[in-house]
């Protein structure tokens, strides 16, 4: 285990630090008292993610909830699964009524084969070394353990990103990064394969969100702890004029509401085990694809 830690630490030094993890923690601490304001969105994402458990016959006894913000763990415990909460924010950990570990989500302080199930709902998009984290998840899962995750993907917040860029370019002649970069759906499937999960699947889903005013969108981002934590963010206070200009540029739908849909990838992957089904190798098929497409031939 110590050797694995040393190897992981050595690898992480080479990973580009896109996100400021200290700021991510501060944002989550600040958001802890206001999480009820965004609970419907968090619950919708968690419920769509945990629906995948209804299609699985395997029984899960122990689970780790990574960054579920007080929503995922109660749902898992309601299913009879002993659940440990892990979160970067001490304040969010303190809100949980069960066992909780205050930890940096980029390093999982658990022994190999500690959990049957690991769930990460809307908590992976601020991680610098996502391939490294997924490899750690696979390590702490028992053989034939399940990893479930959902994370924002493109084009989430595309309208806000474009509005901020246009407003800043018009006012200052340049732009600074203000919205987190998101992966694409294909990237998520590739990440699962790269981490060595068996039977990896990444499905797309959309949670439709609409706001009466632009400030409603900004308030939800703040209440969820999702404001700018990029390392290259501007350190100066954003002027109210720039915010007002950007908000006026947000696209509106036919009812003059502001649509900012949350596009998510729902990811599933299994820790490899000898009992799992294996894909056939080339040449092992009993019927060729050509024969299947042609269908039965007259005798």
**CATH number of the domain that 29 lies in?**
3.40.50.150
For residue 89, tell me if it sits in a domain.
yes
For residue 194, tell me if it sits in a domain.
yes
Could you tell me which residue, 261 or 231, shows the higher pLDDT? 261
The rounded distance, in Å, linking the Cα atoms of 181 and 154 is: 8
pLDDT interval class at 295 (50, 70, 90) = low
Query: Picking from 126-135, 170-179, 242-251, 258-267, which range would have the lowest pLDDT averaged per residue?
Result: 170-179
For residue 221, tell me if it sits in a domain.
no
Q: What is the pLDDT of residues 210-234, one digit of tens each?
A: 998 889 999 999 999 999 899 887 7
- Number of folded domains in the chain? 1
Residues 6+ apart with CB under 8 A from 171: 241, 242, 245
Average pLDDT taken over every residue of the chain: 87
For residue 131, tell me if it sits in a domain.
yes
Instruction: Calculate the CA 283 to chain-centre distance.
Output: 38
Residues 191 and 131: beta-carbon distance below 8 Å = yes
Residue 102: both structure tokens together: 């205050």
Q: What is the pLDDT of residues 9-65, one digit of tens each?
A: 444 457 888 999 999 999 999 999 999 999 999 999 999 999 999 999 999 999 999
For residue 110, tell me if it sits in a domain.
yes
Q: What is the pLDDT of residues 268-291, one digit of tens each?
A: 999 998 887 665 555 555 655 566
The rounded distance, in Å, linking the Cα atoms of 157 and 251 is: 11
| Strand positions, DSSP E, 112-256 | 115-121, 141-152, 198-207, 210-211
Which DSSP category does 98 fall into?
Answer: S
The pTM (predicted TM-score) of the whole model is 0.84
For residue 254, tell me if it sits in a domain.
no
For 55, the domain range is: 2-153+181-209+262-274
The rounded distance, in Å, linking the Cα atoms of 38 and 25 is: 18
For residue 96, tell me if it sits in a domain.
yes
Residue in the structure block whose two tokens are 């390590």:
139
For residue 100, tell me if it sits in a domain.
yes
Instruction: Check pLDDT > 90 for residue 5.
Output: no
3-class DSSP assignment, residue 87: strand
């Amino acid at each position: 285990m110590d050797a694995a830690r040393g190897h992981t630490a050595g690898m992480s030094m080479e990973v580009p630090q896109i996100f400021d993890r200290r700021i991510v923690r501060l944002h989550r601490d600040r958001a802890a008292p206001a999480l009820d304001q965004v609970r419907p969105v968090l619950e919708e994402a968690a419920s769509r993610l945990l629906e995948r458990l209804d299609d699985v016959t395997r029984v899960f006894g122990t689970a780790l909830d990574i960054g579920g913000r007080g929503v995922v763990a109660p749902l898992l415990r309601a299913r009879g699964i002993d659940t440990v909460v892990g979160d970067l924010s001490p304040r969010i950990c303190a809100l949980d009524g069960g066992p909780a570990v205050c930890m940096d989500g980029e390093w999982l302080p658990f022994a190999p084969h500690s959990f049957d199930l690991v769930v990460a709902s809307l908590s992976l998009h601020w991680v610098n070394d996502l391939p490294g984290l997924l490899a750690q998840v696979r390590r702490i899962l028992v053989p034939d353990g399940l990893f479930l995750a959902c994370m924002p993907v493109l084009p989430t917040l595309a309208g806000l990103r474009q509005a901020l860029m246009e407003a800043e370019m018009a006012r200052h002649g340049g732009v600074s990064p203000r919205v987190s970069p998101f992966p694409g759906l294909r990237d998520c499937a590739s990440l699962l394969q790269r981490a060595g999960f068996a039977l990896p699947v990444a499905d797309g889903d959309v949670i439709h969100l609409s706001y009466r005013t632009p400030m409603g969108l900004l308030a939800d981002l703040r209440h969820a702890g999702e404001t700018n934590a990029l390392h290259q963010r501007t350190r100066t206070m954003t002027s109210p004029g720039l915010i007002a200009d950007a908000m006026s540029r947000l696209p509106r739908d036919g009812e003059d509401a502001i649509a900012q849909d949350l596009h998510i990838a729902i990811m599933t992957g299994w820790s490899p085990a000898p009992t799992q089904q294996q894909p056939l190798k080339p040449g092992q098929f009993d019927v060729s694809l050509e024969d299947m497409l042609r269908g039965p031939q007259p005798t």
